[in-house]
């Protein structure tokens, strides 16, 4: 695992801890699986990918960690697989934002398919990617989540070369960056004082974005976002863990 991603996961977990009171439940996701999915995302461009995720029935979540990230209004029975760490992930489809949620025939068994929804209910959790777009659910995403027994996750990735689609962030919602963009934060604290300054800022932002890391495909990664949500519409806190089920950046203290 590259150092930039390790540092990004530590920062992400710190934010998950600081915002723990905003979520009714926690999902424990191994960092090595996230690393794998990021690679799949770039290998499948310009398509989105749909990833089926199952839990590791032999690895329960660490209760000490769970208690520390638990909110005052937490629920122990919000979603399927809540007591276990994520164990396996597989690509099951690729396509645009409309077709990506539908499983190919190879991944369906034909039994109760209609009642299970477009995805066939094959996995506990589902993740799909938003290439060069923020990790905010669309109407299609929310509809597809209604047949999910666990949670839905979205991985948003900002990168260059952009290909056919530029970075899209004109959408409202709570965003969870994976790694801080220090350059952007500094510019946001110091807004331009003139119209010419705004033009320079836009041009600089477009052409001199901070690079978090380099993908195996050679793309420059400028930003990552990761969210999880339940079909009821509530957000789910994500904690990124190592092979032993401990969060990157542990320990955290209140």
115-135, pLDDT tens digit by residue? 444 555 579 999 999 999 999
Cα-based distances in Å from 202 to 29, 135, 157, 187, 196: 36, 22, 20, 11, 10
pTM, rounded to two decimals: 0.85
Task: Over range 31-49, report the average pLDDT.
Answer: 96
Nearest to 48 by CA among 37, 33, 59, 34: 37
How many whole angstroms separate alpha carbon 221 and alpha carbon 79?
32
Residue 194's pLDDT is 65
Confidence band of 238 (pLDDT split at 50, 70, 90): very high
Class of domain 3-178+211-241: alpha beta
Digit-coded pLDDT (tens) for 176-234:
999 765 444 444 445 666 666 655 555 555 556 889 999 999 999 999 999 999 999 99
Lowest mean per-residue pLDDT among 160-169, 198-207, 236-245: 198-207
Please report how many Cα atoms fall inside a 13 Å half-sphere around the Cα of residue 92, on the Cβ side: 28
Quickly tell me which residue has 């920062």 as its tokens.
11
pLDDT at 121 (0 to 100): 58
Domain ranges of the chain: 3-178+211-241
The secondary structure of residue 218, as a DSSP letter, is S
pLDDT at 240 over 80: yes
Separation between Cα atoms, residue 238 and residue 153, nearest integer Å: 9
Tell me: the pLDDT tens digits for 55-110?
A: 999 999 999 999 999 999 999 999 999 999 999 999 999 988 878 877 765 555 55
Measured in degrees and rounded to the nearest 5, phi and psi for residue 251 equal -95, 155
Handedness of CA 147, 224, 35, 228 (dihedral sign): negative
Q: What does the pLDDT read at residue 24?
A: 97
Q: What is the phi/psi pair of residue 131, to 5°?
A: -65, 125
pLDDT band at 112 (very low <50, low <70, confident <90, very high): very low
10 Å CB burial of residue 15 (0-12, 13-18, 19+) is middle
CB 174 within 8 A of CB 160: no
Structure confidence by residue, pLDDT tens digits, 1-23: 899 999 999 999 999 999 999 99
Stretch 163-170: mean pLDDT: 86
Residue 103 in tokens: 């499983």
Check residue 3 and give its pLDDT. 94
Cis peptide before 252 (omega within 30 of 0): no
């Amino acid at each position: 695992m590259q150092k930039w991603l390790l540092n990004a996961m530590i920062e992400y977990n710190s934010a998950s801890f600081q915002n723990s009171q905003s979520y009714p439940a926690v999902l424990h996701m191994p960092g090595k699986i996230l690393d794998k999915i990021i690679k799949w995302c770039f290998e499948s461009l310009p398509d989105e990918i749909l990833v089926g995720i199952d839990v590791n029935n032999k690895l329960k979540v660490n209760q000490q960690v769970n208690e520390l990230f638990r909110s005052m209004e937490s629920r122990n029975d919000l979603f399927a697989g809540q007591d276990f760490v994520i164990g396996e992930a597989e690509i099951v489809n690729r396509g645009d934002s409309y077709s990506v949620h539908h499983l190919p025939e190879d991944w369906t068994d034909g039994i109760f398919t209609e009642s299970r929804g477009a995805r066939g209910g094959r996995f506990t959790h589902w993740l799909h990617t938003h290439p060069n777009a923020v990790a905010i659910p669309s109407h299609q995403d929310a509809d597809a989540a209604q047949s999910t027994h666990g949670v839905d996750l979205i991985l948003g990735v900002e990168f260059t070369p952009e290909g056919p689609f530029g970075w899209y962030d004109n959408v409202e919602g709570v965003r969870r960056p994976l790694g801080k963009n220090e350059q952007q934060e500094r510019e946001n604290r110091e807004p331009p004082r003139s119209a010419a300054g705004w033009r320079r800022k836009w041009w600089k932002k477009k052409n001199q974005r901070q690079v978090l890391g380099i993908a195996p495909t050679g793309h420059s990664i400028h930003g990552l976002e990761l969210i999880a949500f339940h079909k009821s519409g509530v957000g789910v806190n994500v904690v990124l863990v190592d092979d032993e089920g401990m969060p990157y950046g542990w320990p955290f203290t209140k």
